[in-house]
Structure 1
Amino acid sequence: MRKVWWKEAVAYQIYPRSFMDSNGDGIGDLQGVISKLDYLQDLGIDVIWVCPIYRSPNDDNGYDISDYYDILDEFGSMQDFDMLLGECHKRGIRLIMDLVLNHTSDEHPWFIESRSSRDNPKRDYYIWRDGKDGAEPNNWESMFNGSAWEYDGQTDQYYLHLYSVKQPDLNMENPVVRQELISMIRWWLDKGIDGFRVDAITHIKKLPGLPNMPNPKHLRYVNAMAGHRNIPGIHDFLQQFKREAFADYDIMTVGEASGTPISEADQWIGEENGAFNMIFQFEHVSLDFGPEGRWDCGPWSLIKLKQIMQKWQLGLDGIGWNALYLENHDQPRSVSRFGDPVHYHKESAQMLATFFMLMQGTPFIYQGQEIGMTNVHFHSLDDYRDVEIYNYYREWLMDGHDMEETMRRIRFRARDNARTPMQWEDTPHGGFSSVVPWIRVNPDYHHINVRQQLTDPDSILNYYKRLISLRKSSETLIYGKYGSFMDRHPEIFAYSRSLGDESYFIALNFYGNTPEFQWPEELKGERCQIVLSNYERDEQDVPDDCRLNSHFVMKPYEAIVYRLG
């Protein structure tokens, strides 16, 4: 297995609008990020991933780009960005940016020209079609609800938008479009950034002819046969981006690759053949989707979680590399989703950290995850800001569904759960800003914040520091093989990491119960030492020798890391 810096790194995702406001306008900015770099360095972070900061009308919080070569004024200037990059590098922290290739804003100059007339040279930069029988060109649904087509009266055609109506899809079949994007990628890499997280990349290839799809609304969530995800021919585009842009630089590339089967891992992230270094796969964060899809919040199974993680851990071993995560700007807070923020907030957040941080792959911590930030329970729709929420609310009620059930789903699943301001201290607005922020702070900032946790040696934050330090102390916890144990146990998740003569064993109680733990037969007789735990344990609870009769009762949401041998 090839050793490289991005495999050994711990990454931290920053949603700049909600990270730190330096100028008192209620919106986080680049100078705010700079002001917190020492905090990130102390945490042990090696790479920051900064969500879009390009010029944008902000219909989808920056993922609708109107100028790839400029910074949105509310975040600062290009000089601020250059300062951020320099200050990161002074601290040994690398910086990767979001790369949005599937679409632009409808306010991008390319689209303004494209929609100006049917014979404009940039008309073919986007996907335009005539309507059929007085309706849209086909029955495709937007990922944000509603039709994926928008009628443009000026030229009497429809344009395709898989996301917001203000995010028209680029026509990747046009080689000039690909060259424009490659030039932009190289421009940023020449500035000295350290790579990209590539947004919605599985959607850049559309099925030829753009045919109707069966049950299109369902396809928003279960897209195996959809006309715009992982379509044959996509790797021709991806390999061109790799060959003509990425390959010339020592960078980290991570693709957001929903629906990518592990059978295609070599094409996506193979050590030699892959288009990217890593991908974010979505299987484990789709566990609690109900029959109606993402907004249908159902129960999840620990056994199913084990199967998914084992599949990716073992399936990529020797082929590619995992990107490890539980949260990001599109996902609910993990302690609210997989833990117990009411009764075992600290314990469950620490257990979840241990779960994903010590597997084989590069871990990505989302801002606030390191202090156990929770989902927010806004009572009014007016408190939400995400365009997706408003589309869902309108369509779901139009279909005759109950308003309270609709709001319940929104409170659990809304992307805004991850976008409330970072909770720095117990002062107005959580120390994020001196004024009312662009989105309300979660009221629990009074008891969940950085300042309080810095002074508490047993806090979630200080546990993350110990966990990161442990990972970096051993090549086994980076490059070691993954082993699975107790696969059918309904409450305990257990796995090992092994390299040469060194091994680690990680035991995790995923619930508030107290199940009995018994050493797996394969490990009995091994010498063992606890190197990290989220509870204090007496020595008699866990003997030095993992003998035949070694067993004990696990505490609620307990995490224990053993070094074996």
Structure 2
Amino acid sequence: MTIPKRMWWQNSSVYQIYPASFKDSNGDGVGDIPGIISELDYIQSIGVDVIWICPMYDSPQVDMGYDVRDYEDVYRPYGTVQDMEVLIEQTHARGMKIILDLVVNHTSDQHKWFLESRSSKNNPKRDWYIWRPARYVDGQRKPPNNWIGNFGGSCWEWDEHTQEYYLHLFCPEQPDLNWENSATRQAIYDSAMEFWLQRGVDGFRVDTVNMYSKGDMVDAPITDPKSEWQFAGFQYCNGPRMHEFLSEMNQVLQKYDAMTVGECPHTPDMAKVLKYVSRKEKQLNMVFQFDVVDIGQGPYKFQTTPFNWGLPQFKHAIETTQNLIRGNDGWTTVFLENHDQSRSVSRFTSDAPQHRVAGGKLLSLMMSALSGTMFIYQGQELGMVNFPMEWSMDEYKDVDSSNYYKMVADRSHNDPKEMHVAKTSLQHLARDHARVPMSWSDAPNAGFSAAKPWMRALDDAAICNAKQQQSDKSSVLSFWKRMLQLRKQYSDLFVFGEFDLLDKSNLEVFTFTKTWQNKKALVVLNFTAEEQKLVYPTEVRSQKSELLVSTLDTPASDKLAAYEGRIFMLES
């Protein structure tokens, strides 16, 4: 079998930065681009190859910058286009690459395109967004269909001035662009992509990448009888022209050898996912599938209780994303955290004081042994955890969290028991946990800012911060550095190798092998707070094994400690 040429982005580890919360350089309580530049040496020291900057574009910040007012400008509290040019140059000077967030399913309602579009029905840009007349039921004005928005409520907003509805899959302030219009698409490529590619950006994380072709926009099936608005993800994702649109977009990207990673929700069919990421299809390099991070979520994400899943479900989700590249020309991603997820130590292991370091190392070891391009979110390398239950709802800043809490209050008439259940779920799953300021030191505000931060810093910065962990050989940060080095050293096996799950039904221990030609590694992960017997599954029992790495400095020969992980090299 001929091995296809390896692309630079395949063997890369990517470090994601949320600008508002990374580092404040000017004392206004908000992170900024000069703050990122000041910590590039720290980022480089982790051993990553690429940085990904969440939206830093000019924006009213209704949805933390995912409502773009101008693709060709920067949100002033973060800095300027010139600051971005310095960041690009300084990142490249350290041998790293930089990608941006590409948000082109929708714009802000303050974008000049939308201001024109809503100015009149015969404006040349009217068709750049998705406008529809009202439906009337028993004389009552109703939206064109029953779709629920991603943040609740109808995803149609009535425009009094032109007497029509416009579509917004997210906030009302985020109107959806009409990709069916070729002039709109060209403007997107010029303004949102080429403007930054020409300034040296190396690619994009593509937001909501499978939502651009909306299909026939008929009513969604009724899955929530209590609501007028229904989940429609399978209606507006993966529509009939998606592959055509992405192939066209890729023609722009190819000119710059730019990488793409698409956010691909509501796509359980792996054949559909593979078509997006197959090398011969020339659409996307890879996507984020949500199998792993959706574990334990309810039908409406927060309608759930913490830890209501078993380890076999987690294994199956990882197996699904790993098998995407088996025997084909596709590519996959490895991630447990991002700006839309709570902290992985709190979700998948334990953030109890005695276990959080072990849990952080266990997840680092597991991720580093999985195939695909790896993505690490700021603070994950320190083992940062969710903020505590005691924090009031005032500390939750995300529109998704506040909308959900308000919906439960309205539906339950502020029933104390229902409100407690809602807050418990938010404390486990809310996006807010990823958005607290980065813990840099034990100084006030976790060393993030000289001023009160826009969002409260964690109270535990005294025991979990970057400054302390940099000089502590037993820290989560030191272990991440070690694992990223090993991942590079054994890249055939860990980045490109075949994943095989062993002992699927085991409720305590996650065991898998990685194989590349005649090399094989065994990965054993104890996902419990109890000691577990070290057992070699029958498939590998006859093979000699040599310990490559453990999350413990001195592991026992026949037992796995709580949240211990090990990798063995096997001899056939």
The alignment's TM-score, normalised by the length of structure 2, stands at 0.93
Q: Which position in structure 2 is the counterpart of 1:345?
A: 356
Which of 357, 380, 386 pairs up with 2:392? 380
- The answer to whether the Cα contact below 8 Å between 2:532 and 2:559 also exists between their aligned partners in 1 is yes
Which of 553, 560, 565 pairs up with 2:566? 560
Aligned length: 552
Distance 2:273 2:300 in 1: 28
1:236 Cα offset (Å)? 1.4
Matches within 5 A, 1:275-354: 275-298=283-306, 299-317=308-326, 318-342=328-352, 343-354=354-365
Distance 1:105 1:111 in 2: 8
Give the partner amino acid of 1:326: L
Distance 1:339 1:157 in 2: 49
Moved more, 288-297 or 317-326: 288-297
Distance 1:211 1:477 in 2: 44
Give the partner amino acid of 1:530: L
1:186 Cα offset (Å)? 2.0
Q: Which position in structure 2 is the counterpart of 1:548?
A: none
Give the partner amino acid of 2:360: A
Does residue 358 of structure 1 match 2:366?
no
Distance 1:221 1:507 in 2: 45
1:143 Cα offset (Å)? 0.3
1:274 Cα offset (Å)? 4.3
- SS state at 1:7 partner: coil
Distance 2:507 2:421 in 1: 29
Q: Which position in structure 2 is the counterpart of 1:506?
A: 523
Unpaired runs of 5+ residues, structure 1, are 543-551
Q: Which position in structure 2 is the counterpart of 1:427?
A: 443
- The answer to whether the Cα contact below 8 Å between 2:289 and 2:321 also exists between their aligned partners in 1 is no
Distance 2:39 2:88 in 1: 13
Which of 45, 49, 66 pairs up with 1:46? 49
Distance 1:138 1:12, change over 3 A: same
1:223 Cα offset (Å)? 5.8
Distance 2:204 2:393 in 1: 33
- Matched-pair identity in %: 38
- SS state at 2:304 partner: strand
- The answer to whether the Cα contact below 8 Å between 2:302 and 2:425 also exists between their aligned partners in 1 is no
Matches within 5 A, 1:367-406: 367-377=378-388, 379-400=391-412, 402-406=418-422
Q: Which position in structure 1 is the counterpart of 2:194?
A: 186
Give the partner amino acid of 2:563: Y
- SS state at 1:62 partner: coil
Give the partner amino acid of 2:447: G
Does residue 155 of structure 1 match 2:162?
yes
Distance 1:9 1:442 in 2: 30
Q: Which position in structure 1 is the counterpart of 2:172?
A: 165
Q: Which position in structure 1 is the counterpart of 2:498?
A: 481
1:222 Cα offset (Å)? 9.8
Moved more, 523-532 or 301-310: 523-532
Q: Which position in structure 1 is the counterpart of 2:130?
A: 127
Q: Which position in structure 2 is the counterpart of 1:449?
A: 465
Q: What is the RMSD of the two structures over their aligned residues, measured on CA atoms?
A: 1.9
Which of 529, 539, 561 pairs up with 2:546? 529
- SS state at 2:189 partner: helix
Q: Deviations over 1:161-187 (max 9, x none)?
A: 110111001111111111111222122
Moved more, 442-451 or 383-392: 383-392
1:483 Cα offset (Å)? 2.1
Q: Deviations over 1:294-333 (max 9, x none)?
A: 4423511211121222222123223311111000000010
1:291 Cα offset (Å)? 4.9
- SS state at 2:142 partner: coil
- The answer to whether the Cα contact below 8 Å between 2:220 and 2:230 also exists between their aligned partners in 1 is no
Q: Deviations over 1:191-230 (max 9, x none)?
A: 111100000112111122x221122659999968732111
Which of 458, 468, 490 pairs up with 2:507? 490
Q: Which position in structure 2 is the counterpart of 1:545?
A: none
Distance 2:498 2:84 in 1: 39
Q: Which position in structure 1 is the counterpart of 2:15?
A: 12
Distance 1:39 1:490 in 2: 38
Distance 1:466 1:103 in 2: 40
Give the partner amino acid of 1:337: R
Does residue 212 of structure 1 match 2:223?
no
1:486 Cα offset (Å)? 1.5
1:139 Cα offset (Å)? 1.1
1:386 Cα offset (Å)? 1.1
Distance 1:293 1:10, change over 3 A: closer
- SS state at 1:493 partner: strand
Q: Deviations over 1:456-479 (max 9, x none)?
A: 111100000000010011232222
Q: Deviations over 1:67-104 (max 9, x none)?
A: 00111111111111010000000101100000011000
Distance 2:51 2:224 in 1: 36
- The answer to whether the Cα contact below 8 Å between 2:446 and 2:461 also exists between their aligned partners in 1 is yes
Moved more, 284-293 or 83-92: 284-293
Distance 1:273 1:362 in 2: 19
Distance 1:516 1:163 in 2: 48
Unpaired runs of 5+ residues, structure 2, are none
Distance 1:274 1:431 in 2: 44
Distance 1:384 1:490 in 2: 34
- SS state at 2:432 partner: helix
Distance 1:446 1:479, change over 3 A: same
Which of 77, 82, 87 pairs up with 1:79? 82
Give the partner amino acid of 1:471: R
Q: Which position in structure 2 is the counterpart of 1:226?
A: 234
Q: Deviations over 1:31-71 (max 9, x none)?
A: 00001100011110100010000100000000000000111
- The answer to whether the Cα contact below 8 Å between 2:531 and 2:562 also exists between their aligned partners in 1 is yes
- SS state at 2:71 partner: strand
1:292 Cα offset (Å)? 5.0
Distance 1:494 1:502, change over 3 A: same
Distance 2:254 2:41 in 1: 31
Moved more, 47-56 or 441-450: 441-450
- SS state at 1:385 partner: coil
- The answer to whether the Cα contact below 8 Å between 1:361 and 1:478 also exists between their aligned partners in 2 is yes
Give the partner amino acid of 1:403: M
1:409 Cα offset (Å)? 2.1
1:352 Cα offset (Å)? 1.0
Matches within 5 A, 1:98-109: 98-109=101-112
- SS state at 1:203 partner: coil
1:357 Cα offset (Å)? 2.0
- The answer to whether the Cα contact below 8 Å between 1:115 and 1:123 also exists between their aligned partners in 2 is yes
Q: Deviations over 1:309-368 (max 9, x none)?
A: 222212322331111100000001000001111130110111011112211111100000
Distance 1:451 1:293 in 2: 35
Distance 1:420 1:302 in 2: 28
Does residue 37 of structure 1 match 2:40?
yes
